[in-house]
Each structure stands twice: as C-alpha cells, then as structure tokens.
Amino acid sequence: MPAEARHADPAPIEDDLAQVVLDAHGGDARAAIRELVADTLFLKGELYTASCLLSRGIGRGWVPRFEREE
C-alpha cells in the first residue's frame, strides 16, 4: 500500500458513507441512526459469540474489543 494511502484522512470516506446511509433512509436521520444502532448491536453479539467459540490460539493471542477507541 502506498504511504499516501496509509496516511490519508478517512473523513471524506466517512462523509460519503454517511450520505449513502441517509439517502438509503430517504433523508430521515432518526431512521438511519436506529438502523445503525441495530446493526451495531447485532455485530457486537456476533463478535461476542465468535470470541466464545474461538480459542486464543487461533488468533495467536488476539482478543476482540467490543468498544472502539476514540
């Protein structure tokens, strides 16, 4: 990966995705937020299930985090 790509500001991509989500919900921000929260809760549940089923050896000591760091 070129150095420029590794250090690029991710904000434009996030802005584009935010617009796509809003457009998918007809511009209704509350509906978009509800859907994103539901997706987040679902994926946290899937991550928890996977972390219970996989041994530490398969991830070579990697342990999932359930909250992202700011």
The residue extents of the domains of the chain are 10-65
Select the more confidently predicted residue: 36 or 63: 36
pTM for the complete prediction?
Answer: 0.64
Q: Which of 26-30, 48-52, 65-69 has the lowest mean pLDDT?
A: 65-69
Q: Which two tokens stand for residue 6?
A: 């590794």
Give the integer Cα–Cα distance in Å for 64 and 51. Answer: 7
pLDDT confidence of 5, banded at 50, 70, 90?
low
Per the CB < 8 A criterion, the answer to whether 36 and 20 are in contact is: no
Q: Residue 66 — very low, low, confident or very high, per pLDDT cuts 50/70/90?
A: confident
